Amino acid sequence: MSAIIGRIHFSGTPVPAEAFRDALDSLKAFGRDGTQAWMDGPLALGHQQLDITPESRYERQPLQKHGLVIVADAIIDNRDELRDRLGIDNPGRATLPDSELIIDAYHRWGAQCVEKLVGDFAFAIWDTHDQSLFCARDHIGARPLYYRHVGDRFLFATAISGLKAFKDVPLAIDERRVASFLRWPFDATEDSFFQDIHPLLPGHWLHVTLRGVKQHAYWQPDDASCVRYSCPADYADHFRALLETAVSDRIRTPYPIGSHISGGLDSTGVTILANRCLNRQGRTLKQSYSWAPPISATYPLAGGRRDERQLIDQVCRQEGFTCHFGAASGHDYRDFLSRDVAEEGTTDLFEERPVMAHAGQEGIRTMLSGWGGDEAVTFGIRGYAAYLFKRGQWRELFAMTRVNAGGCRHPRRMARFLWQQALLPMMPDPVYERFSPFRETERLNPFLRGDFLKRHPHINRQRMPAWREYPDPHTMQALLLRNGHLASRMATWAKWSAPHDIVYRYPLTDIRLLRFTLGLPPELLWQHGKPRALYRRALNDLLPQRVGKHDPVNERKRMELRKGCWQLLAQEAQEGGFRDHCDWLNTRALRPSIQNTPNTMTMEHLSTFIPICSALQMWHLWQRYMIK
């Protein structure tokens, strides 16, 4: 993987060479293995190289071929299939870099080439014949790409910092985005805090000419074809084969590999499969990583209850590798809140930052993650109870209700489950909003200035795609995959991990897996009283008994992190911090709330702490960009 950057002046005026090289240099953290630029009057393309796969050592970008010029941040996983379809059969086939495969595919199929690519990618191709630019991003957004269209100029880069580095093209903060974040802090999105900067959406391509920009969605999760087998065992067999391929493709690297692990199905299955595949190559997983704290006097084993650390230890001993447990602190949380969200995004998964630092010291260049499993591959039961109710499948609905309520001895729990999971999803939006089981959003913005909100009234009507439940599991899966949280996490982690020479890969979002799982019968979601039945059956020979996410100690640790962060913020406020005026925030209410720290952190305190965090992120944004 790597970083790419480009600038085109469709008016024909030359791109200023020094400004472009400064912008390319701003992305040097993404690539320790080489920097190249290609400049030709009104066009400039740049590439920062980080070797990951064996063939990436042969990358020489920007690459010119067929009257095209490409810069690509890509790892293509279906290389053999592509080379066969393109008729590439020569001694240099194995060392052919991914950028050349992509440019050959584009030369053969045009924009339809992206539908034939499997892997993580963001790339741009300049056509010297018709003076046009084609940009594309993978289906899930594993690799980020941002662009800016201002007048006759079009700019793109892997990271917003690359676009920001063009000092001759001034930037301004988009206050609508600020209002949106303060009003809906839980809504995950890649939307930029800068005016005119946009992410290229996952599963989309752009075509840019003098006449303007055309964007097109080439992949939609709603469009998956139905998958139906006469033999039930075939579902698990096919799933296992696809999953093994997805994992093995992502460990095709000569460098050390790390992996997330927890007590959950997703990361545990990926980690074991990766290690078994490496064992067959005479290798082993370098290190596994958990956010859970190590067993200690502070965090002893949860007596009499399941503790995911015991399962992690079992897997590590069984597979022959070790686990590095969570090392994040309240200081890490405090530092996260003061980082530049305009460059890095608002994803709050700061506990991964110490993981990145340790993995970088270990020489790990590929980190496997189970992110994306919940949305499709190991999807739970969202929408399924209402689906059963709508179809009149009362026996199945009763069995599900009884299990989720803890048995018939809990009639109130059963009634609550039926109302929230079976009946409410079928109600119209106003009714659902009135009785939504999710947190009251009005409590999340007490520090947002009323006059500022009035300038952006549309924010109150804004909704993320998956803001509610619907009576169909496939609808829920598609909404979750389009929701924005996966792409925003991946973009932030790409930015954070770059200085450590690490690339994150997500086997459970493999397009081949998604095409299969999104087409499965909904009945496979819940079988024998358990959700995620297909995944469990497919990996039955690998997964430990009673595998499943259950981490009360980790949740307690997170509460301690929040308390520690809050105390640090209170100390800063007592020393005169956060006094400066901010047009977006009621700082007179904010400072006392910061100083009112609890002795013991509880769930009730989160309704105060969470808006403090989002307010402080915007306060720091104001300090960076709005004070002249």
Domain ranges of the chain: 2-173+193-219, 223-378+492-550, 384-471
Close Cβ partners of 195 (under 8 Å, ≥ 6 residues apart): 171, 172, 173, 174
Confidence of residue 226 (pLDDT cuts 50, 70, 90): very high
Binned at pLDDT 50, 70 and 90, residue 37 comes out as: very high
List Cβ neighbours of 561 (8 Å cut-off, separation of 6 or more). 328, 329, 330, 332, 333, 351
pLDDT of residue 227 exceeding 80, the answer is yes
DSSP 225: P
87: left (phi over 0), alpha (psi -120 to 50) or beta: left
CB neighbours of 414 closer than 8 A, spacing ≥ 6?
401, 402, 405, 408
- Contact between 534 and 265 (Cβ < 8 Å): no
Q: What pLDDT is stored for residue 157 in this prediction?
A: 98
Structure tokens at 519: 């087409």
Question: What is the residue type of 7?
Answer: R
Dihedral sign for Cα 173, 179, 185, 186, please: negative
Whether pLDDT at 405 is above 70: yes
pLDDT digits over 568-593, tens only? 999 999 999 999 999 999 999 999 99
| E runs forming strands in 151-265 | 153-157, 197-199, 204-209, 212-217, 257-260
> Sign of the C-alpha dihedral, residues 493, 498, 499, 500?
positive
Distance CA 437, CA 441 (A): 11
Which of the given ranges, 302-311, 376-385, 500-509, has the highest pLDDT on average? 500-509
Examine the pLDDT at 119 and tell me if it is beyond 90.
yes
Give, for 603, the enclosing helix (H) or strand (E). helix 603-625
Say how far apart CA 504 and CA 509 lie, in whole Å. Answer: 12
Q: Which of 481, 514, 496, 440 is nearest to 328 (CA)?
A: 496
Rg (CA), the chain: 25
Q: 106 Cβ partners below 8 Å, 6+ apart?
A: 68, 70, 113, 125, 134
Query: What span, in angstroms and rounded, lies between the C-alpha atoms of 70 and 64?
Result: 7
Helix (H, G, I), strand (E, B), or coil: what is residue 212? Answer: strand
Tell me what the mean pLDDT of segment 472-499 comes to. 94
pTM: 0.95
Topology of 223-378+492-550 in CATH? Answer: Rossmann fold (3.40.50)
Residue 557 identity (one-letter amino acid): K
pLDDT at position 140 is: 96
Mean pLDDT for all residues in the chain: 92
What is the distance between the alpha carbons of residues 391 and 282, in angstroms, rounded to a whole number? Answer: 52
Residue whose C-alpha is closest to residue 69's, from 42, 33, 34: 42
Is residue 121 within 8 Å of residue 73, measured between CB atoms? yes
Q: What is the pLDDT of residue 458?
A: 84
Buried b (16+ CB within 10 A) or exposed e, 552-569: ebbeebbbbbbbbbbebb
Question: Is 90 exceeded by the pLDDT of residue 478?
Answer: yes
Question: Domain spanning 2-173+193-219: which CATH class is it, in words?
Answer: alpha beta
pLDDT tens across 252-264, in order? Answer: 999 999 999 988 8
Give the full edge-to-edge strand order of the sheet including 153-157: 35-40, 43-49, 2-9, 153-157, 146-150, 197-199
| d(C-alpha 450, C-alpha 457), whole Å | 10
- Residues 163-192 pLDDT 10s: 999 999 999 999 999 999 998 888 889 999
> CA 447, CA 617: separation in Å to the nearest integer?
12
Largest CA distance in the chain: 76
pLDDT at 625: 95
The per-residue pLDDT for 443 is: 54
Mean pLDDT for 223-228 is: 91
363 C-beta neighbours (distance < 10 Å), count: 13
Q: Is the pLDDT of residue 628 over 90?
A: no
pLDDT band at 439 (very low <50, low <70, confident <90, very high): low
pLDDT band at 267, cuts 50/70/90? very high
Distance (Å, whole) CA 433 – CA 603: 23
pLDDT per residue over 81-103, tens digit each?
Answer: 999 999 988 777 788 999 999 99
Q: What is residue 125's three-state secondary structure? A: strand
- Could you tell me where the DSSP H helices lie in 140-289? 160-164, 175-183, 233-249, 265-280
Average pLDDT over residues 451-480: 88
Give the pairing of strands 204-209 and 287-289. unpaired
Residue 397 has pLDDT above 90, yes or no: yes
Dig out the tokens for 618 from the structure.
């915007």
pLDDT for residue 13 is more than 70: yes
